[in-house]
Amino acid sequence: MKILGSLYWIVILVSVAMSGCTTTIKMEPAQSLSKEQAIVFGKVNVIVDGKHIKMTTSGFKSYLTIEFRQKGSSTIMEYKVDETGYFYWTLAPGEYEVLGTYGLAADGPFEMMTPLAQRVWIPFTAQPEESLYLGDLTLELSKNRHAKQRLDDNYSEAIKEFKKKYPSTHTDPLNRVTKLEPFNPGAHTKVTHICSGDWGKYCSSYNIGITPIYPDRLQDVVVASIAPTLRWVPSSMPNVKYDVAIYEAYDSTWRKIALDLLTGKESWRRGRLMIYAQGLAAPKYKPDVSLQQDTTYLWSVRLRRGDTVSTWSQVKHTLVRPGTFWYFAIEQWETWLNFTTPGK
């Protein structure tokens, strides 16, 4: 039963990965450094409930894929991390951005899998004939989906591993560890769930948070302009203000895997943070910059009272993914509201 289930899931992966308009390139480990290219490397550590999880590059047990792209490109490059945690990419010169990760982690053959779909945004620039170290990225999660991220500078250890892999390289790689963009923007000291009684919001099984007025649907709507005024139903509680975030959406293999198999709904992933506004008194917001034409954006609102904020408003879908011996349903934990700007 387990073998049949795995084969069925492979068929799903192949069929959905071919849909959509975004091109995906599977990256292999860099073999050597040429004059026209750069080697970009680093390491990923995955910790679930305090235990370090080793990744594999085959099958569906404890695997992690990094998604990145050249800035402005619709082509997503993917790299599956092996058991060492290190990644090595051979890239043409240009500006790039790490977008996120996806995968699953399990502590044992009968353990519930922990999703590793995380937004991680790291910009970097590749120069010809250069090697650069991006840092050691640690994803720390718990089975209740509470997540932490950090980017550490372990340059001295990373250089040792780099020289083992590329002994003919005579120039030390450049250290390009940067500050990791916060998993969620803005300042706060406490977070409570938006569906608790603190915020005066009614939550349904589908809508977790604010009710939009414009756009008038939670997802899959084309707005009238590239600078839309977002509006939503205000909180019934006093002294509540609002934070708004708008992200560039991107299409990914994880998006194609994480389909609602019953309704066919798709979920975009958060890419670059485009706009963040904090402490709005009125339940509306008009971006102070124009967005790109014919582009999908993810947006959300959270409520604020001083330094205490709610969780971000989201849309809940039931997703299906394979277990050890059967298929079971999970609720997706990051489905933001979205809209698409009009074309030319």
pLDDT-derived band of residue 8, with 50, 70 and 90 as boundaries?
A: very low
Q: Is 306 left (phi over 0), alpha (psi -120 to 50) or beta?
A: left
Tell me what pLDDT residue 143 has.
Answer: 64
DSSP 222: B
Q: Which helix (H) or strand (E) holds 8?
A: helix 2-17
Give residue 265's pLDDT: 52
Lowest mean pLDDT among 7-11, 167-171, 172-176: 7-11
Beta strands in 107-181 (DSSP E): 114-115, 118-126, 131-141, 147-152, 174-175
What number is the average pLDDT over the span 99-110? 78
The residue that leads in pLDDT, 85 or 335, is 85
Q: Which is more confident, 166 or 59?
A: 166
Level-2 CATH architecture, domain 2-175: Sandwich (2.60)
Q: How confident is the model at residue 316 (pLDDT cuts 50, 70, 90)?
A: confident
Query: Which of 216-220, 265-269, 281-285, 288-292 is modeled with the greatest confidence?
Result: 281-285
Beta bridge partners of 161: none
Average confidence score pLDDT of the chain: 82
Give residue 6's pLDDT band: very low, low, confident or very high (50, 70, 90): very low
Instruction: For 173, list phi and psi in degrees, rounded to 5.
Output: -65, 155
Residue 283 · residue 233 · CB < 8 Å? yes
190-340: CATH homologous superfamily? Immunoglobulins (2.60.40.10)
Judge whether 295 and 343 are in contact, CB under 8 Å: no
- Span 20-40, average pLDDT: 76
Domain ranges of the chain: 2-175, 190-340
Residues 196-213 have a mean pLDDT of 87
Confidence of residue 276 (pLDDT cuts 50, 70, 90): very high
Judged by average pLDDT, the poorest of 40-54, 99-113, 184-198, 218-232 is 99-113
What pLDDT sits at residue 22? 63
At residue 334, does pLDDT exceed 80?
no
116-136 pLDDT, tens digit per residue, is 888 899 999 999 888 999 999
pLDDT of residue 44: 96
- pLDDT value of position 129: 85
Per-residue pLDDT, 295: 92
**Model confidence at 260, in pLDDT bands (50, 70, 90)?**
very low
| Average of per-residue pLDDT across 104-115 | 70
DSSP one-letter string for 197-208: TTS-----SSEE
- Same fold flag, 2-175 and 190-340: yes
Is the entire prediction scored with pTM above 0.85? Answer: no
Separation between Cα atoms, residue 302 and residue 47, nearest integer Å: 28
For residue 173, the SS3 value is: coil
> Could you tell me the two tokens for 295?
């582009």
| pLDDT for 218 | 84
CB 170 within 8 A of CB 291: no
For range 123-152, the mean pLDDT: 89
- Average pLDDT, stretch 6-18? 29
Query: For residue 204, what pLDDT is reported?
Result: 83
Contacts of 142 (CB under 8 A, 6+ apart): 48, 49, 114
Q: Is the pLDDT of residue 13 over 60?
A: no
The SS3 of residue 272 is strand
pLDDT at 340: 94
The least confident of 40-44, 81-85, 216-220 is: 216-220
Least confident range from 13-17, 31-35, 92-96: namely: 13-17
**Segment 134-146 mean pLDDT:** 84
Distance CA 98, CA 123 (A): 6
